[in-house]
Amino acid sequence: MMTSLIVRNNKIFFRDRMLVFFSLLSVLISIGLFIVFLQKLQLDAIRQVIEVTPAVELVVSEWMIAGILTMTAMTSTLAVFAIFVSDLESKRTADFLVTSASRYSIQLSYVISSVMIGFIMTTIAFIVCEVYLLTLGAELPSVWKLMQFFGVIILGVLLSAMINLVIVLLAKSAKAFSTVNSLVGTLIGFLCAVYVPMGVLPKAIQMVIHLFPVSHVAVLLRKLLMEDSLNTVFGNANEAMDSYMLTYGVVYEINSSVLGTQSSVLYICISIFGIAIFAAVLFRLQYK
């Protein structure tokens, strides 16, 4: 029965073109802001240190693409939960309970659909972005690096799905969900330091971003995307490269220590597990 529900949810999502569009709306807004404002701001900042070359433009594009992929994981998984809200308001969820499916398995079907569709949408976005980077002169990533990319994407999608599950359990009406959807699409760009570079924000806001687990997905993607290009651009200018990486959130510095990749991965995994437990408890309290 659960398999049938998952297939149903997936079909509903991909049939609804507006649902697909709105899941990508914040991403489209980010691309527009990048083209109009953010790209120029970064290039102007870099121009004060080194000459702006095609390699520099590649670095800036890679920085933005990491944010776009992170936002895609968040918004696409949230959009799938619109099906849950619609079913709840139309009483279709009650109809499902007449079958052999339990309330837990029905809810789990939305979560699984969210993860599946989130992974598909983020993978498509990654492929499109990678093709774009190749046109700018980037090298084709190795098999090992591709495995790392997809590993981070899976972590990002799982984390986003858990966070969005909590959101829809708290905002179950269509009106509330629509409001939250708009807020998430806007806030995720700030909380992942996509719209505003980390270095220009107050320390208190930087700490909030450090604590927001999804932002660590953006950090991991930036490291993977920008590693080779940063070495090419900055060469032996290590101080300039370190300054750039801290300013633009390629790495996080907490208590004067740079956070490593393993620490970010561990924090994401702990967050997924913790939020999943919280969502399960919340669901039990609502339907006990």
Whole-number pLDDT of residue 101:
72
Task: Please spell the DSSP secondary structure of 178-226, one letter per residue.
Answer: HHHHHHHHHHHHHHTTSSS-GGGS-HHHHHHHHH-HHHHHHHHHHHHHH
Q: Tell me phi and psi for residue 254, to 5 degrees.
A: -125, 125
pLDDT > 90 in the chain, percent? 31
Choose between 254 and 157: higher pLDDT.
Answer: 157
Choose between 104 and 161: higher pLDDT.
Answer: 161
- Residues sharing a CB contact under 8 Å with residue 287, sequence separation 6 or more, in sequence order: 103
Whole-number pLDDT of residue 214:
94
Q: 128-132, 157-161, 200-204: which has the highest mean pLDDT?
A: 157-161
Alpha carbons 288 and 283: distance in angstroms, whole number? 8
> In the numeric block, which tokens belong to residue 71?
């936002």
**Average pLDDT rounded to a whole number, residues 254-266:** 89
**In which band, very low, low, confident or very high, does the pLDDT at 29 lie, cut at 50, 70 and 90?**
confident
Whole-number pLDDT of residue 70:
92
Q: Tell me phi and psi for residue 171, to 5 degrees.
A: -120, 85
Give me the chain's average pLDDT, please: 85
Whole-number pLDDT of residue 1:
67
Alpha carbons 67 and 215: distance in angstroms, whole number? 9
**Average pLDDT rounded to a whole number, residues 7-22:** 80
Nearest to 10 by CA among 123, 88, 115, 158: 115
- Residues sharing a CB contact under 8 Å with residue 112, sequence separation 6 or more, in sequence order: 2, 6
pLDDT, one tens digit per residue, over 79-97 is 889 888 888 887 777 667 6
pLDDT, one tens digit per residue, over 176-219 is 877 887 788 778 888 888 877 888 888 889 999 999 999 999 99
**In which band, very low, low, confident or very high, does the pLDDT at 231 lie, cut at 50, 70 and 90?**
confident
**Average pLDDT rounded to a whole number, residues 14-26:** 73
Name residue 257's beta-bridge partners.
Answer: 254
- Sequence spans of domains, the chain: 2-286
**Dihedral Cα 247, 250, 252, 253, nearest 10 deg:** -50
β-strands 257-258, 253-254 pairing: antiparallel
Alpha carbons 30 and 172: distance in angstroms, whole number? 27
Kindly tell me if the per-residue pLDDT of 262 is higher than 80: yes
Q: 80-94, 160-174, 231-245: which has the highest mean pLDDT?
A: 160-174
Residues listed for the chain: 288
**Average pLDDT rounded to a whole number, residues 14-24:** 74
Nearest to 286 by CA among 103, 53, 114, 160: 103
Q: How far is CA 266 from CA 60, 85, 103, 193, 233, in A?
A: 27, 32, 31, 20, 30
Other C-beta atoms closer than 10 Å to the C-beta of 19 total: 17
